[in-house]
Amino acid sequence: MEFSTLTSDFYGFENGLADNEKELLVKLRHWLETEVKPIVNDHWARAEFPMMLVKGLADLGIFGMPWEETRPFENTAVFRGWVALELARVDASVATLVGMQNGLVMGAIGVAGSTEQRAEWLPKFATGEWLGCFALTEPLSGSDSAQGLRTVAERDGDDWVISGSKRWIGNGTIASHSIVWAKSSEDGQVKGFLVPTSTPGWSASKIENKQALRIVQNADITLDKVRVPEANRLQNGNSFRDTAAVLRLTRAEVAWAAVGNSIGAYEAAVKYGSERIQFGKTIDGHQLIQEHYAKMLGNITSSIALCTRVSAMLDEGIQRDEHAALAKEFTTSRMRETVAWARESMGGNGIVLDYDVMRHFADAEALYSYEGTREMNTLIVGRAITGKAAFV
């Protein structure tokens, strides 16, 4: 299998990747086309996650790529962005699972764990032996997690006792382990804990009737005096600033996933347009349809350019919160436009799951909101522009 850039990568940004990065992308594309694409619409319709995919992702080396303990080879944040794009191009739910496992869960350990914790825990997530979830958001605390967190951890000798509730926790009903964020009753600071989901007092219930990212198993979590040892506290996570450092790492990859979701809809629309005949010719020969294609490709190309630079800034050690926030806000907003144009170009068939676009259309709404809403990200950027915080 030879590497070639996606036709939707109009300016050929992928050509800048290293040879071993391109090689893994080729393997990932083949696996997605043969193992994921044929089953994804059925699982989306039934709101079920195909658990067999976890092993395939682990075998490819997709989990743990940022960390020295687990990466298959030294790689860049730009490459990891392309992985998120390729995943979301086929299915945003699979991309979201990887983002949780590889970014949020392993990211929490990589950023806030001790050297010993990293060495012990990261390989278990990288091999898929452990599947994780990231329990931060609460029923009454989402955008204001820095101040509004209500889950409490109380020190009891060599243990911590955690009580509280979490909501919208991806993988919540299928994870073996969770990173739980709670406020310490000792100092009022947010701390992170690795909690096996089999621990007494932990319970999870699936959020039903979700109409975006239906394959992702989001859950309401209840922690009723869940007891974990001090050894399971992330030793370098001492305040919400450390939690925010994890989110900063993953926010840019969500921007990449938004581009991938846009590309998935765009490619499906272009394929449909080459086959659907109206007024005696295929619809891709009509001016109005070609205008849609050009607008979609423009959104995709500008978003790739922005994502490439913001990830390069992470590689260079100069990326700040406002850089990741602008990337997430811009690409998800352009994604919303792109999936709408893709659906519109397909007429009535655009709302039928068989043609893929409707799945990308619906999933866009979740990508638009999680990892920081558009409004919150604009406030982060606005603060950088003006020097004034408008978070009220």
Query: Burial letters for 376-390: b for 16+ Cβ neighbours within 10 Å, e otherwise?
Result: bbbbbbbbeeeeeee
Q: What is the pLDDT of residue 248?
A: 77
- CA angle, 94 as apex, 42 and 232 as ends, to 5°? 130
pLDDT in tens, 348-358: 999 999 999 99
Positions in the chain short of pLDDT 50: none
Q: What is the pLDDT of residue 147?
A: 66
Q: What is residue 207's DSSP assignment?
A: P
Q: DSSP letters of 253-316?
A: HHHHHHHHHHHHHHHHHHHHHTT-EETTEEGGGSHHHHHHHHHHHHHHHHHHHHHHHHHHHHHT
Q: What is the pLDDT of residue 146?
A: 60
Q: What is residue 84's DSSP assignment?
A: H
Task: Say if CB 93 and CB 46 are below 8 A apart.
Answer: no
Task: Say if CB 293 and CB 348 are below 8 A apart.
Answer: no
Q: How far are the Cα atoms of 3, 98, 273 from residue 61, in angstroms, in the given order?
A: 18, 11, 36
Tokens 């092993």 map to which residue? 55
Q: What is the pLDDT of residue 372?
A: 78
pLDDT in tens, 232-287: 999 998 888 888 888 777 888 899 999 999 999 999 999 999 999 989 899 999 99
Q: What is the pLDDT of residue 144?
A: 60
